[in-house]
Amino acid sequence: MAKGIDGKLDRLWSELVRKRDGKCMYCGRTENLDAHHIIGRANRSTRWDLDNGITLCKKHHVFSNEFSAHGTPVKFTHWLEEQRGREWVEALVRKGNETVKLSKADKEEILKGLTDGKGN
């Protein structure tokens, strides 16, 4: 995991996504939960956006060949569209396509927003 402010943001983002959802949004399990980035975490425009997160158990995050965000990404995307709507997914993809360069001050502002419960 990243260090410094990026690491703080990553940890807080993960904690908030899991706290918000409280369970695997696919199967309902409440143990061994991960926060999954819908648009990959390398994408800075959505990396710490709470809308870009969904809670999944480890099986449905990574380990199932039948359904998992990483193992069967097309199935995951279709399921997500059924859950949240195609327009919602398309809006997140558009935001993910924005080019951003975040300064330390920008990251501190995102951290403050997440800490204050406002998200971004």
**Counted domains in the chain:** 1
pLDDT at residue 3, rounded to an integer: 83
pLDDT at residue 119, rounded to an integer: 58
Domain assignment present for 118: no
Residue 55 φ then ψ, to 5°: -90, 130
Report the alpha-carbon distance of residue 60 to residue 116 in Å, rounded: 30
Report the alpha-carbon distance of residue 17 to residue 21 in Å, rounded: 6
pLDDT at residue 120, rounded to an integer: 54
Report the alpha-carbon distance of residue 33 to residue 35 in Å, rounded: 7
Domain assignment present for 23: yes
The residue count of the chain comes to 120
Q: Which domain range does residue 79 map to?
A: 4-112
Domain assignment present for 117: no
Structure tokens at 65: 């060949």
pTM of the entire predicted model: 0.90
pLDDT at residue 1, rounded to an integer: 54
pLDDT at residue 117, rounded to an integer: 78
Domain assignment present for 119: no
85: left (phi over 0), alpha (psi -120 to 50) or beta: left
Q: pLDDT 10s digit of each residue in the chain, 120 long?
A: 578 999 999 999 999 999 999 999 999 999 999 999 999 999 999 999 999 999 999 999 999 999 999 999 999 999 999 999 999 999 999 999 999 899 999 999 999 999 987 555
Residue 6 φ then ψ, to 5°: -60, -45
